Amino acid sequence: MRHAEKNNKGEKTVRKLSEFLKPATVEETVELLIERPGKRKLLAGGTGVSVTDSQQIDGLIDLTGLELDYIEEAGEQLALGAVATMRQLESSDLLKQYAGGVVAEAAANVGTTPLRNMITLGGSLAQMRVWADLPPVFLAVDAEIVVSGPEGEQSYSAVEFFSKHPTRLLDKSCLIKQVNLDQKLADYRGNYEKFAMTSDAYATVTVTVLAELNDGIVTNPRIAIGSASPFPTRCTAAEEALEGQKFSQELAVKAGKLAREEVKTTDNVWGSASYKSKLIEKLVKRNLLQIAE
Amino acid sequence: MRENIPDDQLRYVGKETDRVDSIEKLTGKARYTGDLRFPGLLHAAVKRSPHARARILNIDISAAEKMAGVHAVLTGKELNYKLGLYLVDKDVLARDMVRHHGEAVAAVAAETPKLARQALDKIKVEYQVETPVLDALEAMQDNSRLVHPGLDEYDYFKPAFTPQPGTNIANQTKIRKGDIDRGFSEADHIFEREYTNPNVQHVPMETHVAVASWKEAGKLDVSTSCQSPFTVRNLLCVAFNLSHKDVHVEVPYVGGGFGGKAGIGVEPLAACLSKKANGQPVKLEASREEEFSLLPCRCGLTYQIKTGVSNDGKIIAQKMTMIWDSGAYADYAVNVTRASSYSASGPYEIPNAHVDGYTVYTNKPYGTAYRGFGHVEFSWGMERHMDYMAERLGIDPLEFRLRNALKPGSLTLTGEKILPSTGNVTACMEAAAEAINYGELTEEERAREKRTGRKIAKSVSALHKAPAMPSFTATAAELRMNEDGSINADLSLTEYGQGTYTALTQIIAEELKFPPEKIHLSIKGDTEKAPYDWQTVASKGLLMSGNACIKAVQDLLDRAYNDAAQVLRADPCDLDHDADKIFIKHHPDENVSFSDLAVGYALPNGQGIGGPLIGLGRYMAQGLTNLDKETGQGLPALDWTYGSHGVVLEVDLETGEFDIIQVASAFDVGKTINPQAVRGQVIGGMIQGLGTALCEGYAYDSEGHLLNPSFTDNKIPTAKDIPEKIEGIVVETPQIDGPYGARGVGEHSMIALCGAIGNAIYWASGADLTHMPIRHEDVWWALHNTDKDRQRARYSIC
């Protein structure tokens, strides 16, 4: 939560704007970033820029000319362009059919419709707020995050990407270009649930569960928790407990309890650490039961 | 008035009628204060205190004053004006001392909003931070630091309020009925508990905004988003020592108020800035964040109730102590205290009652009117208390309510006798109970429990509220007939979303026998053109202005009949009229049209008869009295609107998650003037009630900083958060002095909703809550943890 004293200064924005650049390619964008490090900010949907309070930044680089707003099949993968909006993600038939629709569902739970029309995939990942809905889902599906920078393209596994804040992980002259989803997971059963005070409030806790289920046997389970702590968490102990087991109510309860132990929850305005722990236990169980139905 | 006309004889009253302002609003044509254009307009920005309590040691405005494009920079030092509705305790800008986080300490008017903000950054304020008084109960202790050491010097409205200088108590209201000690001694059971509420923000869609132009020779023009143009004018005149004839307040469309715009807000500061800027118009528009702490909020309440009940479930005695946390200034809080004190028991008869209502200053953003005027807050405690007692008495909570409900012959806390025409709270409870199938689960609900694993429960709450207003509150309406026989009407009630203007149009139409399309009620408020109204508050608008409109129509028709009598050479008693003409009853072909009479009748030879047709109607509250200061006895209530909420909800016993399945609300509106408007008020208020019941509220840190002044951190419900099923029900016990029997229902749909929710949660799960709002986490804590375990989150709403 922001301290109100900061809010007293009036509108927060990029105060001295002297450049507005609209590159046509990713390479050109990276060059523009290298040219004046720390002075230019990437502008995609604008929701992040609108709350950026900076005396240093005086240029904006508009990413809407890069044609990075695609959601398409690319061989073994689903490729999501970084400038695709939350609204595009939630409306995409490809994503609705991917792993129980977890990515589409998470996108549909971001903020309000007007915000979802603006917020982009790349912008959301670059800021990686505690409450962000997509990181835990990408962690669950082992997404690959493709970043372009001075050294060319580099891919990060979700585990690596979500281990620290992007400002500490990535070079300042990088941009997130694409997220790849493994098509092998497309037929997994999956569920995403956001617990929040109101429908458009930031999440207190989010739970993503995925698994294959054949003749009642669970394989390749994935459980990821968001918003309960500064970074999303994969619950590997809970996953191990599920792997190869015959699904039952008791198994779901057990996985919930294990998941609860695995996340070091923190207090914030949306809930106390202890309540979040309780929610994790319950929501993991509930969502496992739902995918097993 | 006209309270017993059968439905089939009414043409327009009681019929579904589209709102008169809907097309303009929906097409974006409606112009609000922020849309108005003024040549040479300057934009204001306000420097606000980052501390809850501090001495102002120095304010350096020299750098800001030197900036090109900055036309005025003000600090409290040069503004020796005091403001206050009932207790004159507030400066336009803080002087010497800041009393709450977010209080205005300096202000700027500049050529652009950006420039004004930049100038603010150049103002340097030196503070000496002091320990704030944050807890109202501690503030009442003898050794507490004082928020207003100068309380003894303040002027106040003496007939109604009693400040206690040397303390933080801005007002104490006492109500004494019967013999409280004897009542308790006769009781078989005594139940005592405390219930609490936090500060809440009104969050109207349109934030506070005013444009002021301080012209030569003490003439002041103000355009503002407010509820009460004449109160704004009067307070500006009193504060600045100006003549009422010279101060012009106009109010265009207003985008919501909910009590937050009932009194005076940003207008005085805009006026002072304009004066300093040599009369250039200055616009002061609050940001959403400023709404939370520059402008006032709903008061916090600690409500202690001690009740004595007999074995057969009759309440014999009740002692009620209300501690209203007014924050830094008294504003409406003193009157919230007064009005909620005389209603404090809810719609139940208490033979022996003792109420002490205190308005207590603290170093928090200040409290004001908020839809319900204290009743939402105290009804939370009262309605929870009713179920708490019923359970221990082994009586069904609805039955317990019905046994104690006010009914004809009952005496209210102030000794007012309830009559059959007062309204019927029993009928409201019965209607709500029936709508939710109270007392058992349906087969469908049982199946749902099985499917979800959640427990379903039901509850019924009851409420009452009368307008909180001076006993001598008055209003007026003016009608003017146009050349084509149409009508322009003016009054000074502000239409900020209630739908009253549509209902008043229907009343005028009914009374005139004209179709509503022939009547235009000017939405714009204008103290130079429209007649007086005290304030647009308290759910009194329909009743009082409705009566004024009826009287204005009678006045206009009297003139028209007299003129027509001359034209037709008939006695006025033999005349009748329809939508177009006045005719002789026994010779209907002998007639004269309204359009021929409208601006004076011209005979064929050119001679004139009569004159422009106008009608004036005044209405003043009748028979109300001040309350005795020692006993609180007297007649404060224009009318009582009763109501009841039935709630069905389900609770997850493991996590405390709950969903509201159904809300059915019944109100005794006397007579429905416009079913659409009643439905709008019932549903809108209920959802606003859900917000303050479930998620809204101010969170402070230990130093009194407000932590959640935004829609990011202070959530309000949206369309996606409403109950699965909503039902509004009307009970119609005509109000004898209401227009066509109507009484107001503007605030009531919020009241007692949280109590009903809290009770249903208790019956479903056993979670026994005494603090609102009720968040899922609160239910979980109540179910699975002791209070001692709970380390209340740093940001909990308190």
Percent of chain B with pLDDT over 90: 97
Active site residues of B: 747
Whether residue B337 has pLDDT greater than 90: yes
Peptide bond into A221 cis (omega under 30): no
Q: What is the pLDDT of residue B588?
A: 96
Lookup: tokens for A36: 């004046």
Helix (H, G, I), strand (E, B) or coil at A108: helix
Q: Quick check: A10 and B795 CB within 8 A?
A: no
Residue count of chain B: 798
> Considering only A45-59, A103-117, A131-145, A186-200, which range has the smallest mean pLDDT?
A45-59
Query: Stretch A182-196: mean pLDDT, rounded?
Result: 97
> Which stretch of DSSP H or E encloses residue A159?
helix A158-161
Query: Stretch A17-41: mean pLDDT, rounded?
Result: 94
Helices (H), B163-204: 180-186
Query: Stretch B259-285: mean pLDDT, rounded?
Result: 97
Mean pLDDT score of chain B: 96
Measured between beta carbons, the chain A residues lying within 8 angstroms of B709 are 4, 7
Measured between beta carbons, the chain B residues lying within 8 angstroms of A267 are 793-795
- Taken in order A93, A98, A101, A104, the sign of the CA dihedral is negative
Q: For B524-583, what is each residue's pLDDT tens digit?
A: 999 999 999 999 999 999 999 999 999 999 999 999 999 999 999 999 999 999 999 999
Interface residues of chain B, partner chain A, Cβ below 8 Å = 45, 47-48, 50, 101-102, 117, 120-121, 287, 289, 293, 652, 654-655, 657, 694-695, 699, 705-710, 712-713, 715-718, 720-721, 775-777, 780-781, 784, 791, 793-795
Q: Distance from A75 to chain B by nearest Cα, in Å? A: 38
Q: For A231-250, what is each residue's pLDDT tens digit?
A: 999 999 999 999 999 999 99
Residues contacting residue B759 through CB under 8 Å, at least 6 positions apart? B383, B384, B386, B387, B397, B459, B461, B647
- Probe site for chain A from B777, B778, B785 (most A CB atoms < 10 A): B777
* Residue from B342, B345, B323 nearest B333 by CA: B323
Helices and strands, counts by H and E, chain B: 19, 33
Query: Stretch B627-638: mean pLDDT, rounded?
Result: 97
Q: For B733-749, what is each residue's pLDDT tens digit?
A: 999 999 999 999 999 99
Whether residue A1 has pLDDT greater than 50: no
Q: What is the pLDDT of residue A171?
A: 87
As a whole number of angstroms, the distance between CA A22 and CA B592 comes to 73
Measured between beta carbons, the chain A residues lying within 8 angstroms of B698 are none
Classify residue B12 as exposed, middle or buried by CB count within 10 Å of its CB (0-12, 13-18, 19+): buried
Q: What is the pLDDT of residue A268?
A: 85
Q: Quick check: B710 and A269 CB within 8 A?
A: no
Mean pLDDT score of chain A: 92
ipTM value for the complex: 0.91
As a whole number of angstroms, the distance between CA B798 and CA B373 comes to 20
Q: For B605-615, what is each residue's pLDDT tens digit?
A: 999 999 999 99
Q: Quick check: B781 and A112 CB within 8 A?
A: no
Whether residue A104 has pLDDT greater than 80: yes
Q: For B107-141, what is each residue's pLDDT tens digit?
A: 999 999 999 999 999 999 999 999 999 999 999 99
Q: Quick check: B712 and A279 CB within 8 A?
A: no
Interstrand relation of A59-62 and A40-43 (parallel, antiparallel or unpaired): parallel
Q: For B701-710, what is each residue's pLDDT tens digit?
A: 999 999 999 9
Cβ within 8 Å of B, A 191-210: 195, 197-202
Q: For B375-423, what is each residue's pLDDT tens digit?
A: 999 999 999 999 999 999 999 999 999 999 999 999 999 999 999 999 9
- Contacts A–B by Cβ distance under 8 A: 84
Measured between beta carbons, the chain B residues lying within 8 angstroms of A275 are 777, 780-781
- Which neighbouring-strand residues pair with B47? B106
Q: What is the pLDDT of residue A6?
A: 42
pLDDT bucket at B785, cuts 50 / 70 / 90: confident
Interstrand relation of B90-91 and B519-521 (parallel, antiparallel or unpaired): unpaired
- CA end-to-end distance (rounded Å), chain B: 46
